[in-house]
Amino acid sequence: MEFFKIRRDIPFMRHALVFNAVSFITFLAAVFFLFSRGLHLSVEFTGGTLMEVAYSQPADLTQARNAIATLGYADVQVQNFGTARDVLIRLPAVKGASSAQQSEKVLAALKQADASAELRRTEFVGPQVGDELAADGLKALAFVVVGIVLYLAFRFEWKFAVAAIIANLHDVIIILGFFAFFQWEFSLPVLAAVLAVLGYSVNESVVIFDRIRENFRRFRKMDTVGIIDNAITSTISRTIITHGCTQLMVLSMLLFGGATLHYFALALTIGILFGIYSSVFVAAAIAMWLGIRREDLIKNVKKEGDPDDPNAGAVV
């Protein structure tokens, strides 16, 4: 299905060098902020206190967050747990204060806002658990990267695999750079969003790469730059439909999903926008710089004038 069809190819690759330079500068800025400011890790990674509080009626999460904020806590996770009357609270570790002392102060603040607040359980999540979660997250990211490289190398060609993984890592680092620069809380849902962006971004790259391979078969006299420009232009309508619908869903979570889904949706929003950009101006351009050719994708191209082949020059 197409909303529109562009008759003339848009010369995307004519400006590939400029856009690649912008991408490189943005990537370096993201890396700089990651090392200079670091990520604002959530309780799952740093350790802290976990509280479960029950109310006699559906809990007002905004009221609970405001009550906890008066104690000096910032970016505390407050969310429903099980039912609308049960609330799960994650508090960051505070030097000089035990888990019991933290929970007592928080419960007192919650009772002041709503007398029906009742503490069901409290427990301490140690930094060791956070280290394990961080290690598992890095392993998951490594497995995703290796899987994408192997898939693209098997389906297309190693040059496409290298181009796609550079573009995808470009998206991931930029997302992390945003979180480091603004010091947004980096939690497990955000990590899940980053991994989702990897898969989502590579899907767009695969669509463009597949069209490039088809074009090499269809347009034998067209050069590589023209092939890539035609492939990107011909998939624009599909890109707008797919990413537009996905972005509408993610924006609805960002605007109406509340604090629990805010950073998850924010990471997806950034990832989708940069995923479109990287698929066109990073992945396709890098494949062009690596010297992708018709012979790389169509192995049975015969040299014209081959006396031993009656169909010399034909592509099967």
Residue 89's CATH number: 3.30.70.3400
Q: 160 and 272, same structural domain?
A: yes
Tell whether 136 and 283 lie within a shared domain.
yes
The reported pLDDT for the residue numbered 100 is 85
pLDDT of residue 95: 78
Do residue 78 and residue 139 come from a single domain? no
Q: Does residue 108 sit in the same domain as residue 149? A: no
Asked whether residue 200 is domain-assigned, the answer is yes
User: Going by DSSP bridges, is the β-strand pair 48-54/118-125 parallel, antiparallel, or unpaired?
Assistant: antiparallel
Residues 78 and 194 in one domain: no
Instruction: Give the pLDDT score at 128.
Output: 60
Whether residue 24 is found in the same domain as residue 104:
no
Residue 158 lies in a domain: yes
Q: Per the domain annotation, does 112 fall within a domain?
A: yes
Residues 253 and 151 in one domain: yes
Number of domains forming the structure of the chain: 2
For position 260, what pLDDT does the model report?
Answer: 77
> Are residues 93 and 224 located together in one domain of the fold?
no
Q: Are residues 86 and 219 in the same domain?
A: no
∠ CA 215-216-222, rounded to 5° = 90
Give domain status of residue 312, yes or no.
no
pTM (predicted TM-score)? 0.78
Question: Integer distance in angstroms from the first to the last C-alpha of the chain?
Answer: 28
Query: So what's the pLDDT on residue 2?
Result: 57
Q: What range does the domain containing 28 cover? A: 12-39+129-297
What is the distance between the alpha carbons of residues 218 and 315, in angstroms, rounded to a whole number?
Answer: 9
Mean pLDDT per 10-residue section of the chain, whose length is 316 residues: 71 89 93 93 81 91 90 82 86 81 91 91 76 76 80 82 86 93 89 84 85 88 90 86 88 86 92 86 89 75 46 42
137 lies in a domain? yes
